[in-house]
Amino acid sequence: MGQLLQYILNGLAKGSIYSLIALGLVVIYRGTGHLNFAQGEMALFATFGAWWIHDHGVPLLFAITLAAALAFVGGGVIEFGLIRPAGKKSPFAVVVVTIGLFQALNSLSGLLFQGAGTGLPFGTLFPNKPNDFFRLPGDAIWRYENVGVLASVLAITGILFALFQKTKVGLAMRMVANNPDSAKLSGVSTTRILMLSWGISALIGAIGGALVAGINTNVNLATMFGVFLLASAAATLGGLDSPLGAVVGGLSLGVVESLVSNYPKDWWASSYVGADTSVAVAFLIILVVLLVRPAGLFGSSRVERV
């Protein structure tokens, strides 16, 4: 029983990161109706920025805060300078631009930050000494760092829920995503809302990237690639327009990945399924769910008049 609990806790640790990056995807989708394929690399670039600021003598917490603020501004600039002109041409053009942005930011990170390819040391915001953990029944341990990451995800989720459900800005973001023309007629500044959506998403990504780097104790050019893939899957599983779905999808995906890879050791498929194939099993589960509910577990199905 203790072994099972330990694998679940390990899965929650991974799933917390997936959930945080998935939240960034959900914010953009709810605000614009687009899926940002560059979300992971935007987070990576901001994380390298936090490393550079910290390397120049600024405390890590303030470095991450400053990098997140700059990421917020950068997200708005990207929407204004790249996404908006492309969106006027074709919705598919936005997909192409985000894919190009993915490659451009990764290459730019390698050019600007010497040693980015092999990895740069990165600290953590939470206690991570060998004895910094809670001991749970069955000798399972829950590290303070993992608890801190999960708490951060839940706090950000709560803030986003309040933003979307309790504020005029959140209502405006949903209006713009569902029907931009009607939003304009209602007096909503769609341009500001679109910039705000990308800015918030970039800010969340910067925090997520810093947490990933802290857990890994370093940041390199490949840090966010696998995380982004699984975060995209988590957002799809939970529903691309649901912050709660992003969190549930990310945590579930992390737990499934951990259990399939490790527990139990003697189950019938242990010779065929391991760490390398656990992601494929997770995606298979997502495929089955989406065949039953295309909008995801918590997503809302759109009804169109014909």
Higher-pLDDT residue of 159 and 279 is 159
Smallest CA-to-CA distance from 237 within 222, 223, 254, 259 is with: 254
Phi, psi of 272 (to 5 degrees): -115, -25
Tokens 């400053």 -> residue: 66
Share of the chain above pLDDT 90, in %: 47
> Which range, of 50-54, 175-179, 226-230, 234-238, averages the lowest pLDDT?
175-179
CA distance 41 to 44: 5
Identify residue 6 by its one-letter amino acid code: Q
In degrees, rounded to 5, the angle at the alpha carbon of residue 256 between the alpha carbons of residues 253 and 259 is 150
56 C-beta neighbours (distance < 10 Å), count: 8
pLDDT tens track for 79-117 = 999 998 988 888 788 999 999 999 999 999 999 999 999
> In the predicted model, what is the mean pLDDT of the chain?
86
77 C-beta neighbours (distance < 10 Å), count: 14
What is the dihedral angle through the alpha carbons of 110, 121, 38, 58, rounded to the nearest 10 degrees? Answer: -100
Is the model's pLDDT at 53 over the cut of 50?
yes
pLDDT tens track for 223-276 = 998 899 889 889 988 988 888 899 999 999 888 888 877 766 655 555 555 556
| Residues forming beta bridges with residue 140, ordered by sequence position | 136
Q: Are 60 and 121 in contact (CB under 8 A)?
A: no
> Which range, of 38-47, 176-185, 211-220, averages the lowest pLDDT?
176-185
Higher-pLDDT residue of 133 and 284 is 133
| Residues forming beta bridges with residue 216, ordered by sequence position | none
57 C-beta neighbours (distance < 10 Å), count: 7
CA distance 248 to 239: 10
Higher-pLDDT residue of 280 and 272 is 280
- The SS3 assignment for 20 reads helix
The confidence band for 301, taking pLDDT boundaries of 50, 70 and 90, is low
Identify residue 107 by its one-letter amino acid code: S
- In angstroms, the Cα distances linking 36 to 27, 100, 203, 227 are 10, 11, 14, 14
Q: Which domains does the chain have, with CATH numbers?
A: 2-292 (1.10.3470)
pLDDT tens track for 22-48 = 999 998 888 777 889 999 999 999 999
| Residues forming beta bridges with residue 62, ordered by sequence position | none
Q: Are 296 and 242 in contact (CB under 8 A)?
A: yes
103 C-beta neighbours (distance < 10 Å), count: 12
- Is there a cis peptide before residue 264, judged by omega within 30 degrees of 0? yes
